[in-house]
Structure 1
Amino acid sequence: MSTSTLPHAFPPDVMAQLREVAEVDPDLVVEDFHAPRAREALAEAEVLVTGWGCPPVDASVLARAPRLRGILHAAGTVKSLVTEACWERGIWVSSAATANALPVAEYTLGMILITGKGLFTQRDTNWTAPGAQIGGIIEGIGNHGRRIGVVGASRIGRRVIELLRPFDFEVSLADPYVDAAEAAALGVRRRQLHGPDGLFATSDVVTVHAPEVPGTRHLVGRAELALMPDRAVLINTARGSLVDTRALIEELRTERISAVLDVTDPEPLPADSPLRSLPNVRLTPHLAGSQGNEIARLGLVVVEELRRVRAGIPLAHPVDRSGLSRAA
């Protein structure tokens, strides 16, 4: 992992727990598997503890790691580091993606709640402005009975659904891999994306949690945006490529809908992008995932997985090779 990642994923208390269950050199942080110290460590390594900034574990790396049995990733996706050579060698892989899903889901819930309170519709903070209130009640806002559409039953999508349960929302889900029975078990209504009864047409908020794969590029395009009701909100914490940026800008310029974007395409946005100045857009710099002290939660997942390995218990968060093609 990168040297900047280590102290956040493994602060002193978490590093102490790691050293209780594994022989690890806390001063050796590998950013280049070809560096001399890395080559020496690989010769003896049984498990790689990885994180943000880890280079690919390819055949040349595995050739120098004859004892390697597993990879424990203190972050989300492993697509950038786990290669076909790892699977062919029979290396087992675990990821902290489930732990990283929690802060993204919390961010999403927060944005759903605050947009329902008029983040976009109530721009004037002057309570004495004419028409600001009618009979002491602000019109056109509120979260009671709000219709939430979740696109993608990913780890994050499912966590969002879980966090929404205590609230008075009507929650729908669109995911081609979820049938009616599973949707019922999740406590949501299963919908198609399109049509008059589809998710985009029947949601006050659409929150995107699908993976970035070839089939999801511009999943949210001109046709989908046009279906959204007036005053609806689009939230994207997945990947920028899932939303057609040009189509979104065109729709936002009508001021008919609003958007909360933690990810964009391109990322970062050009300085002159209209998304930076439109009043019905809130941009955050890809911060919905683990930040600050939340990153230590990812290191704790690695510690717990190592304890399971030592006890001969199956991993709690194994990565399934067959599911990677449709995972984030």
Structure 2
Amino acid sequence: MPERPQALFAMTARNVPHIFPPEVLVRLREHVEIDPTLVAQDFTDPRIRETLARTEVLITGWGCPRLDAAALDAAPELRAVLHAAGSVKGFTTPEVWQRGIAVSSAAAANALPVAEYTLAMILLAGKDVFALRDRLRGRRAFPYGDILPGIGNYGRRVGIVGASRIGRRLIELLRPHDLKVSLADPYVDEAEAARLGVPLLELEELLRTSDIVTVHAPQTPETRHLLGARELALMPDGSVLINTARGALLDHDALIAELRAGRLSAILDVTDPEPLPAGSPLFDLPNVFLTPHLAGSQGNEVARLGQTVADEAERLARGGGLAYAVDHTVLERAA
């Protein structure tokens, strides 16, 4: 049996037992030699540097220190980084790619709970659940048996902004439902949209023709305030905006103005800034449903990220290619 490569955890230490519970850790250790009690949170720590010098595989996650030239110089044997989370933008540097180090990400696994959250919110928003819940709570009475006009998910128009991993997974999850789904993404052409099974629209047309708009674009300098006052004004009266991507994609001042006017509703899992200041009107506006950045992997879902890394470690140990290798040439426009 070939010798297992030396590996090292590099992430926030308290997250390790959640991402790698016992059964997942056992699987990981079948393919790499790793000490779960040794976790790099600072690559200059003398105890870490001793192991780093012979590390071939880094198992990274939220809180991983930056892999700059100094850190990489201290890890001359490093050949792969397996990231047990989504984006690698926060800790990778050009030196990683220049040195030919393979990088894998569990972004695809992390996309699933975000898509599930979004699906749930679309269906609840289509029923106007949040407003009607408040109406029932306030009046302690409701016109049971009456047909409520204007609600329902039969033929509801859903616009997806961004064919990211999450956007694409959401398209899959929406297929069994009687919804009219469309997509806006400048990097997708008509042929690819056809393969995804959705019509491709310009952003302005999508905003004008959607009852529910859900944002899944990456955060880049070009997408900051992607939806500002002009774009929000295009959305029909009574429509709903969902954001599970990054808060900076929305101009919050413009959004708050629309919300105060009562023209739109919003479901926000991310904000700008994050967390919001205590005095933000988003906490109290009745047409806002606010959640604390929990759409992504949480609780028992983070073990799926660890399982993805264990699978990648097996492929690496067998000399195969990584299933979720990161392409650094498109990293800047990836979510």
TM-score scaled by structure 2? 0.94
Distance 2:104 2:98 in 1: 16
Q: 1:325 Cα deviation (Å)?
A: 1.1
Alignment of 1:1-328 (within 5 A): 1-122=11-132, 123-125=134-136, 132-133=142-143, 136-194=146-204, 198-328=205-335
- % identity of equivalent residues: 63
Distance 2:286 2:166 in 1: 28
Specify the SS of the correspondent of 1:190: coil
Specify the SS of the correspondent of 1:295: helix
| Coordinate RMSD, CA, aligned | 1.4
Distance 1:199 1:293 in 2: 35
Residue correspondences, number = 324
Of the structure 1 ranges 121-130 and 65-74, higher mean CA displacement relative to structure 2 is found in 121-130
Q: 1:313 Cα deviation (Å)?
A: 1.5
Specify the SS of the correspondent of 2:39: coil
Specify the SS of the correspondent of 1:49: strand
Distance 1:269 1:259 in 2: 15
Are the structure 2 counterparts of residues 289 and 126 from structure 1 closer, same or farther at C-alpha, using a change threshold of 3 Å? closer
Please tell me whether the aligned partners of residues 120 and 258 of structure 1 are also in contact (alpha carbons under 8 angstroms).
Answer: no
Distance 1:254 1:62 in 2: 53
CA deviation profile, 1:5-31 (whole Å, cap 9, x unmatched):
101110111111111111111111110
CA deviation profile, 1:138-191 (whole Å, cap 9, x unmatched):
222101100000000000000111100000000000000111111111111100
Specify the SS of the correspondent of 2:98: helix
Of the structure 1 ranges 27-36 and 114-123, higher mean CA displacement relative to structure 2 is found in 114-123
Distance 2:155 2:96 in 1: 48
Distance 2:145 2:279 in 1: 42
> Once superposed, which parts of structure 1, at least 4 consecutive aligned residues long, lie more than 2 Å away?
126-130, 132-136
Which structure 2 residue ranges, 5 or more long, are not aligned? 1-10
Please tell me whether the aligned partners of residues 201 and 228 of structure 1 are also in contact (alpha carbons under 8 angstroms).
Answer: yes
Specify the SS of the correspondent of 2:33: coil
Which structure 1 residue ranges, 5 or more long, are not aligned? none
Q: 1:82 Cα deviation (Å)?
A: 1.1
